[in-house]
Amino acid sequence: DSGVTQTPKHLITATGQRVTLRCSPRSGDLSVYWYQQSLDQGLQFLIQYYNGEERAKGNILERFSAQQFPDLHSELNLSSLELGDSALYFCASSVGGPVGGELFFGEGSRLTVL
């Protein structure tokens, strides 16, 4: 158990819909990262937050948005879903800041868009 909690584990929805993925980082970690992993693909960086502020952005689609709340949990919102959005979405956390620290991954949220 990495200490990073992601919900839901599985989600099946239809094209055009909107979903929210939730991530609770490890206790004490201030940085949260979101990655997308499509079938047999690598880890595509979406976005990073540190202590509530956005720190880095990858090739995140405009239909996607995220935020980190004061209690440090994070949510990734995916809207106007398309078939190609079907993927495993990982959240990771680290201590962040000047220390940086190891990334600990959650179990992922598997999104299927039909």
Partner 1 sequence: GENVEQHPSTLSVQEGDSAVIKCTYSDSASNYFPWYKQELGKRPQLIIDIRSNVGEKKDQRIAVTLNKTAKHFSLHITETQPEDSAVYFCAARANGGYQKVTFGIGTKLQVIP
Q: Does 55 bind partner 1 (CB under 8 A)?
A: yes
Comparing CB distances to partner 1, the nearer of 70 and 98 is: 98
Q: Does 79 bind partner 1 (CB under 8 A)?
A: no
Q: Does 2 bind partner 1 (CB under 8 A)?
A: yes
Q: Does 49 bind partner 1 (CB under 8 A)?
A: no
Upstream peptide bond of 70 is cis (omega within 30 degrees of 0): no
Q: How far is the CB of 15 from partner 1 (least distance, A)?
A: 25
CA atoms within 13 A on the CB side of 41: 15
Comparing CB distances to partner 1, the nearer of 38 and 80 is: 38
What is the three-class DSSP state of 48? Answer: strand
Residues 6+ apart with CB under 8 A from 72: 24, 25, 29, 30, 32, 51, 52
DSSP single-letter state for residue 87? E
Looking at 16, 56, 80, 112, which residue binds partner 1 (CB under 8 A)? 56
Q: Does 105 bind partner 1 (CB under 8 A)?
A: yes
What is the three-class DSSP state of 64? Answer: strand
Comparing CB distances to partner 1, the nearer of 80 and 102 is: 102
